[in-house]
Structure 1
Amino acid sequence: MTDRTAAITRETAETSIEATIDLDGAGDSTVETGNAFFDHMLDALATHALFDLTVHADGDLGVDAHHTVEDVAIVLGEAIDDALGEKRAIERFADRRVPLDEAVASVVLDVSGRPYASFEGSFSAATVGGMDSQLIAHFCRSLATNAGLTLHVTVDGENAHHEAEAIFKGLARALDDATRIDERRSAVASTKGEL
């Protein structure tokens, strides 16, 4: 199997982001974004996708978490896309439904190379862990755009922390499924012959 790793950096006037990913890891993560809740969500993503992940972000959190969350999503999306290379022999599609107590999230994705994101549902509180709850949907859209995913996310619940965590765990499991190598395949899973 080829090495499915990537290292991406992004420097703007608002943020400085460094990330590495190993799609065939063990779920180990080192995440430092300056927001403990966002760190927790990214740790959950790594753990449940079995991706080895490092993220170091220095953003303008004095303004709010928007730029940090967005730019981390951009970098992670680019890293996933880079690590997948030609996407040869990947499963490509995934559909996961994940509960966390009263909350449940559904994540359906296609590693299609055609970025699209749909988010349905709302959060039970305007903020969670010191960040705007709506940034979770923005994270999903930014990740999909930069990883080349078609992504559909729905969520329902009564606790914003549970709703957000169910989304990240569902996204993790779906990414694990879709990026997994199917040993029966030698080419990409497309009638066009490329993604």
Structure 2
Amino acid sequence: MPASNELQLIEGPPLRAVLRAPAVPRPSPRPLLCFLHGHGEAAPMEIEAALTLHGPLHPQAPRDLLDRFLVLAPQLPVPGDIWHRHADEVLALAEQVGRQHGAASSPRYLCGFSFGGNGVFDLAMRQPEAWSALWSVDPTRPPDPAMPQPAWLSIGDRVRRREAEFLSNLRSRPAGDGPNGDRVHLDQHQDHVESARLAFADRRIYEWLLSRAR
């Protein structure tokens, strides 16, 4: 299926992906937001259906805030908790798309859901200079305590199974109504999928990302 008018299909190499690149120019270059999908959205699932099922390309995401980013969503060739195996390909794709579409070289943001949330932590450790801030939605395993970047953790039922370890490793504080710091967690008391739906529709988190520029 071809990509919709709003989305562009990237056939690769290094990876197939979907890109949302707003046509309206901005006074300064947009930052790139890269989304890593979960287990069920890898190939052979049709790429646009897969990468709009969850994440910032879901129809409920706040479009006015998305217009402040280039949103890139690569697709794994096979399912699994394997984003770490494709770390170099993800970064190469992000850099390639950034050059082609005039994205800011920094900041650059990384988000993901479920196994993609694990991938956020893995790539952040392997490429600490590449990613300015992180957003992990209900990942299945805690991050390395040495991970250096600002991070927002959206909690669902996978995180709750090891919540104390997640929060200890992140050294995060609960999200508040006002400005939040560099390590934040938010539990809206939903299951795995519903926590993702609420998270990727939440304006606060996109605004928090935009406030983390380096």
TM-based fold match above 0.5: no
Shorter chain as denominator, the TM-score bin is: 0.3 to 0.5
Between 1 and 2, higher relative CO (CA 8 Å, sep ≥ 6) is seen in 1
Q: Which has the higher strand share?
A: 1
TM-score normalised by structure 2 residue count = 0.35
TM-score normalised by structure 1 residue count = 0.37
